A and B are shown apart, each in its own frame.
Chain A
Amino acid sequence: MSNGTRVLKALRRSTLQAIPTLGVILVLNFFLLRLAPGDAAEVMAGEQGVATEESMAAMRKLFGLDIPVLDQFVAYINNLLHFSLGYSPRYGMQVEDLIAQRLPGSILLMGVALVFALGIGIFIGTVMARYVGRLPDRILSVVSLVFYSVPGFWIGLMMVVLFSVTLGWLPSGSDQTIGADYSGLEWLWDRVSHLILPALSLSLVFIAIYARLTRASMLESQGQDYVRTAAAKGLSPRAITFRHVLRNALLPVTTMAGLHFGTLLGGAVVVETVFSWPGLGRLAFESIMRRDFNVLLGILLLSSILVMIANVITDLVQAWLDPRIEVR
């Protein structure tokens, strides 16, 4: 069987397995949200200060909240089958359009955070393993445990104090300078400078996790027979580390990274709020506060799908990195 068909087969299988799981998640989410006291009409009426029975009823009718819950569910499923996630009264647009607007921001933030986490984490872990038991290892072990204990939103705020308020080097919020009309390199730097602090805040915990994991798994790989073989070939310690040890040691790290997608999304909710980053996480938080359940349902569904996709990608990357794994 060729590699391509192997992968395709695995993809089809994961998709088939995912559908019932998604179905259950959808049902649970839908009825969970309907349990909540209050609805969008109440919140909006409360904010506008007009709370007559008629206006509320009109709004409920408009939002489709006036029919029984089961009928609402059927309507929602019907919408879904037509690739519609419903309408957000709050934002005055289709939920799928709203999510499409916010998704790229979140993906960018999470992607950069993941790159930071893997890059810095694996580097720290490699250094720790190389100097195991000695001073660099001890210091970095403490540092990574501290990183692991720091709330991301708090370190974000502290970095704002240092880099934005005190030093004035980096902006403290949003994803670009509002109203500025940059182009070329200026535009790029503007985007990058807005990205650094939130991505670092989000990645800190993961840096710690990957550093510890890399260290442990490198120490395990270092004792393997093939490392002795590599030394007997005349490879330098550096070449042994990078060509033989690290590659094997990274297998568990990549697995973990893929499985952290959901956690990363959760972290994004808080970090996006801290940095006023226009992303999915902040949208989720805002829609909870506003009882905008269509948006919330859409985000929950989409993020579950994203988690599943991340899992499949992880499996494929694993299979690619480790020839011993047959793609399931």
Chain B
Amino acid sequence: MATTLLEVENLTVRFPRLAAVQDLSFSVGVGETLAIVGESGSGKSITALALMRLVPPPGRITGGSIRFDGRELTALPDAAMRKVRGAEIAMIFQEPMTSLNPVLTIGRQIGETVRLHEGVSRRIARARAIELLDLVRIPEPHRRVDDYPHQLSGGMRQRVMIAMAVICRPKLLIADEPTTALDVTIQAQVLALLDNLRRELSMGLLLITHDLGIVGQWADRVVVMYASRKVEEGSPDAILDAPWHPYTQGLMAASPRHAGDLHYRRTPLVEIPGSITSAFGETGCPFVPRCALAEARCREVVPPPLSLGDHLVACVRHDPFKEAADVALAG
């Protein structure tokens, strides 16, 4: 793996009545794409906001560390943190419709970032904005730069969001469900654009999504979150082809694109029974209420993450070492 850009260890984010993120650890290398996958409520979006130190009150980061490019972000003063946001870590959001300010031109909103962080003049900021609009492949950027958000389509708005995020050449780009609100045909274009920009600007990319379908094609590594915890981590191949955790297996079965075409045609779409909210406040594995394979010991403690190579799982039924040993003995 390349040099580590971002290293998150035991991150915990609490709201008064619940923990949104617990003991979460992962890392992103320079130029690497890490996907965090989970359904809504799993804590993945809060994780993204926590990296920016923008967890909405009354939530706050209560433990763990976020090391980014040699600095501990949880310990940075507010003013220093603001210099990181937008310049070194940038973020794009799920709803390009509402994430842009309706009363300001897109040129001004894109230019605002670079004016703030590089102190350039309004004229230069505008020129840079046009450049960036061209980079994200918006036609006629000279004309479009003076448009207001409501004059653009959803896909175009997301491109504007991306332009706004990368204008200062951040080292890490966090994309929180960047394609969820878009048409399927536009989704692929936006993801391809993100991937290109990642390579051109050698950014780390943290892709947050509930859609396993896009993971295989675009991610270098995958973290699966469930009910505020990481339940599995590995390469896309490992996760998609041989998931260990029952939750990931369920997700796979529920995802049409990766259930395999033949299989998909023959069997109806599988849904994981139950909902994620039932997990909070329980001891033991958070997935127990919905797990078809749960046993008595699953309810006792939260299963510790165990790994074999770069594939990691938090499930008592899977002990990678034991399995590896079994395989070795049997072989």
Contacts and interface: CB of A to CB of B under 8 A. Distances in A.
Consider the complex of A and B and state whether they touch directly, i.e. have CB atoms less than 8 Å apart: yes
Interface of A: 224-226, 228-236, 239, 243-244, 247-248, 251, 321-324
B85 interface: yes
A226 B99 contact: yes
B103 A234 contact: no
A165 to B, nearest CB: 48
- Which are the 9 A-B pairs with shortest beta-carbon distances? A234-B86, A234-B85, A233-B86, A225-B98, A323-B148, A226-B101, A232-B91, A225-B99, A234-B82
A318 to B, nearest CB: 11
B18 interface: no
Contacts, number: 76
Interface stretch (B111-119, B250-258, B316-324): B111-119
A200 B233 CA distance: 66
A238 B87 CA distance: 19
Nearest to B95: A225
Candidate in A224, A231, A233, A323 with the most chain B CB atoms within 10 angstroms: A233
B61 to A, nearest CB: 15
A236 B148 contact: no
Nearest to B167: A233
Given A233-B85, A233-B86, 10 more contacts: A226-B98, A230-B112, A233-B90, A233-B112, A234-B87, A234-B113, A236-B82, A239-B116, A247-B104, A323-B105
A229 B117 contact: no
13 contacts: A225-B93, A226-B100, A226-B102, A229-B161, A231-B52, A232-B85, A232-B90, A233-B90, A233-B116, A233-B164, A248-B102, A323-B102, A323-B148
B103 A247 contact: yes
B20 to A, nearest CB: 16
Nearest to B102: A324
B219 interface: no
A209 B79 CA distance: 35
A283 B116 CA distance: 54
B100 A229 contact: yes
Candidate in A234, A235, A239, A243 with the most chain B CB atoms within 10 angstroms: A234
Contacts of B150: 323-324
Candidate in B95, B103, B112 with the most chain A CB atoms within 10 angstroms: B103
B325 interface: no
Interface residues of B, number: 29
B113 A248 contact: no
B238 interface: no
Interface in B63-110: 79, 82-87, 90-91, 93, 95, 98-105
B54 interface: yes
Candidate in A224, A225, A230, A239 with the most chain B CB atoms within 10 angstroms: A225
Contacts of A228: 54, 93, 99
Interface string B30-70: 00000000000000000000001010000000000000000
A321 B104 CA distance: 9
Contacts of A247: 101, 103-104
B101 A230 contact: yes
A324 B87 contact: no
A323 B85 contact: no
Contacts of A234: 82-87, 113, 116-117
B101 A324 contact: no
A312 to B, nearest CB: 21
Contact of A322 (B90, B99, B103, B117): B103
B218 to A, nearest CB: 22
A236 B85 CA distance: 11
Nearest to A227: B101
Contacts of A324: 102-103, 148, 150
A236 to B, nearest CB: 6
Contacts of B105: 323
Contacts of A226: 98-102
Contacts of A225: 93, 95, 98-99
Contact of A229 (B82, B99, B116): B99
Contacts of B104: 244, 247
Contacts of A251: 103
Contacts of B54: 228, 231-232
Given A233-B85, A233-B116, A323 B103 contact: yes
A309 B79 CA distance: 47
Given A233-B164, A234-B116, A323-B148, A248 B103 contact: yes
Contacts of B95: 225
A323 B106 CA distance: 12
Candidate in B54, B100, B101, B161 with the most chain A CB atoms within 10 angstroms: B101
Nearest to A248: B103
Contacts of A236: 79, 82
Contacts of A224: 98
B110 to A, nearest CB: 10
Nearest to B88: A234
Contacts of B164: 229, 233
Contacts of B148: 323-324
Contacts of B91: 232
A244 B104 CA distance: 9
A228 B55 CA distance: 10
Contacts of A243: 112
